[in-house]
Amino acid sequence: MSTAREQPIFSTRAHVFQIDPATKRNWIPAGKHALTVSYFYDATRNVYRIISIGGAKAIINSTVTPNMTFTKTSQKFGQWADSRANTVYGLGFASEQHLTQFAEKFQEVKEAARLAREKSQDGGELTSPALGLTAHQVPPSPLVSANGPGDEKLFRSQSADAPGPTERERLKKMLSEGSVGEVQWEAEFFALQDSNNKLAGALREANAAAAQWRQQLEAQRAEAERLRQRVAELEAQAAMEPPPVSEKEGPGQALEQLEALVQTKDQEIQTLKSQAGGPREAPDTVEHEETQQKVQDLETRNTELEHQLRATERSLEEARAERERARAEVGRAAQLLDVRLFELSELREGLARLAEGTP
């Protein structure tokens, strides 16, 4: 089939079906996916055709004649009979809007075919009917279910371009033999099958989400256990540290004692200096040297006591700073533990809701 001399005037996408030639009542899908269905105009022969290509073969090759009728059997399904192809074609669209557009274009093409036939019979020039048919493309619609036409019912359709009453009667009988009940049952079966597939997919997704939540729950539990151990270690470390000296009693008394001792030594130094520098009633070289030695010893002791005082003050400040850091770390660990416990509670509630919602 060559369409080099033909021009597409309208295109859409739909699921294509053909009537079962054996039973004359069931639809046979042409494929699992939607196909492009187009109206073509052959300017050489002045005819219009509906063509749909699936793979390497033509699924639909139907010449539109004035006797054809496109019937809407539901909001998204329509059909027409082609006596030349000895079959009935059905199209399932994604929306009612696409079905309406296809049906309107079918009426325009059928009217154009009628005018072309009348001009041909009158011996007029074979030209394209002036119906304003312009080549345009309709954007492909989303794919519909590949299980079948759904709840579309098979109604009677007028045969196209039938050569005689016998052919018309045969097509009418073929369409009337379809059992409406069986078609409804098939539609319900396809709907249930589609619902079952959706439920199975939702169940798989729920199971995957539950497994992921379980992993997150285990990770949260491990993190909470680690935080508990860290808090216990910090508490044990704080308990093992020597109790800090009271600011009012311990440090104050120690400092006062050291200051009093320094003052006492200073007084002794001053006394010894005054004794050494004063008038000597009985100068004695040995006694003078002993006195100077005592002064030096007292000065050395005083220096040591001052160093000890400064070291004690630094130790006290470091102990205070370490205690504050330990308190801050314990507080942060406790806050983080509270957050983890809250997240675990939310996760447990989510798992409970999921378990309740899963059939």
pLDDT band at 200 (very low <50, low <70, confident <90, very high): confident
> By the 8 A CB rule, do 88 and 77 touch?
no
| Segment 14-53, tens digit of pLDDT | 999 999 988 888 899 988 889 999 999 988 888 899 999 8
Q: What is the DSSP letter of 245?
A: P
For residue 13, how many other CB atoms are within 10 A of its CB? 23
Mean pLDDT for 337-342 is 86
By C-alpha distance, which of 59, 65, 60 is closest to 50?
60
The whole-model pTM stands at 0.38
Question: Could you tell me where the DSSP H helices lie in the chain?
Answer: 96-122, 165-176, 180-240, 250-277, 285-357
Q: How far apart are CA 90 and CA 21, in angstroms?
A: 14
Q: How far apart are CA 317 and CA 50, in angstroms?
A: 95
- Which of the two residues, 329 and 243, has the higher pLDDT score? 329
| Segment 180-199, tens digit of pLDDT | 444 455 556 666 767 778 88
For residue 222, how many other CB atoms are within 10 A of its CB? 10
Mean pLDDT for 75-93 is 92
Q: Which residues lie closer than 8 Å to 312 by C-beta, 6 or more apart? A: 254, 255, 258
pLDDT at site 107: 94
> By the 8 A CB rule, do 70 and 107 touch?
yes
- Which of the two residues, 7 and 112, has the higher pLDDT score? 112
Largest CA distance in the chain: 168
When the pLDDT of each residue in the chain is averaged and rounded to a whole number, the result is 76
Mean pLDDT check: name the lowest of 15-24, 56-65, 293-302. 293-302
- Which of the two residues, 201 and 249, has the higher pLDDT score? 201
pLDDT at site 174: 54
pLDDT at site 188: 62
Residue 222 has pLDDT above 70, yes or no: yes
Mean pLDDT for 121-143 is 44
pLDDT at site 27: 92
